[in-house]
């Protein structure tokens, strides 16, 4: 008799878990509509802690040039530079259909810049269908002034894949530098 009660309790618990899992998946459906310009302005402003007006100006510029992104990356990063620098980051790659993947990046830079920052980043990703499409190096020029509460952005490109990272952070970094970011599915320490 006790064995039957345990089995019934187990089946009921399993049913509740399956229903709650299905309900959680239904709570966050993602469609390409969620990657509209207005939705990304609101999402990036909330995530980065920036004003909607500042994000609207930046995202409008990116949308005017490239259109609707095929994915986004939300993450955090640190960077340090005195002529030569390094940047390390981690985040989540999100596709419009709801697929999410952990992603890590790192890279060196060289230029006339100095400073150190800890940033939140929100990146629009173009022409990527699978996470593996990002596991390579992307070159770019970073010439933004990043200060407390400031928003900086730049473009990274390799072939037809384009990344537009927007950053808000604490710290101070000024100047211009050339470098690249290498994206991977696991963290690493060597920036090269």
Percent of the chain whose predicted confidence (pLDDT) is above 70: 73
Does residue 176 carry a pLDDT above 80? no
- Kindly report, residue by residue over 20-57, the tens digit of the pLDDT: 333 333 334 344 457 899 999 999 999 998 888 888 88
Provide mean pLDDT across the span 153-164: 89
**What is the radius of gyration, based on Cα positions, of the chain?**
20
The domain locations on the chain are: 1-30, 31-184
Q: Give residue 178's pLDDT band: very low, low, confident or very high (50, 70, 90).
A: confident
What is the model's pLDDT at position 147?
A: 40
- pLDDT for 102-144, tens place per residue? 999 998 888 777 778 788 999 999 999 999 999 999 887 655 5
Please work out, in degrees rounded to the nearest 5, the angle formed at the alpha carbon of residue 132 by the alpha carbons of 130 and 136.
130
The encoded tokens of residue 97 equal: 């259909």
Return the CATH architecture of domain 31-184: Beta Barrel (2.40)
pLDDT digits (tens, 9 = 90+) for 1-25: 544 443 333 333 333 333 333 333 3
Give me the mean pLDDT over the 144-165 stretch.
75
Q: Supply the pLDDT for residue 150.
A: 67
Greatest alpha-carbon span in the chain: 78
- Predicted confidence at residue 43, as pLDDT, reads 92
Task: Give the model's pLDDT for residue 172.
Answer: 65
Give the residue, 84 or 140, on which the prediction is more confident: 84
- What average pLDDT does this structure show over 67-95? 91
119: number of Cβ within 10 Å: 23
Calpha distance 104→83 (Å, rounded): 24
**Predicted local distance difference test score (pLDDT) of residue 153:** 82
Question: How much is the pLDDT for 74?
Answer: 95
């Amino acid at each position: 008799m006790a064995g039957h009660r345990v089995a019934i309790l187990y089946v009921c618990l399993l049913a509740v878990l399956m229903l709650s899992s299905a309900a959680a998946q239904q709570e966050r459906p993602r469609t390409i509509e969620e990657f509209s310009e207005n939705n990304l302005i609101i999402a990036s402003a909330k995530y980065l802690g920036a004003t909607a007006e500042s994000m609207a100006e930046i995202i409008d510029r990116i949308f005017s040039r490239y259109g609707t992104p095929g994915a986004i990356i939300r993450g955090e990063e640190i960077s340090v530079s005195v002529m030569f620098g390094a940047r390390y980051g981690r985040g989540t790659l999100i596709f419009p259909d709801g697929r999410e993947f952990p992603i890590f990046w790192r890279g060196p830079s060289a230029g006339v810049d100095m400073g150190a920052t800890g940033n939140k980043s929100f990146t629009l990703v173009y022409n990527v269908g699978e996470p593996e499409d990002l596991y390579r190096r992307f070159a770019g020029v970073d010439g933004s002034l990043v200060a407390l509460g400031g928003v900086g952005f730049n473009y990274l490109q390799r072939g037809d894949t384009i990344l537009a990272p927007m950053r808000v952070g604490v710290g101070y970094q000024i100047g211009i530098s050339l470098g690249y970011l290498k994206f991977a599915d696991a963290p690493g320490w060597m920036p090269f």
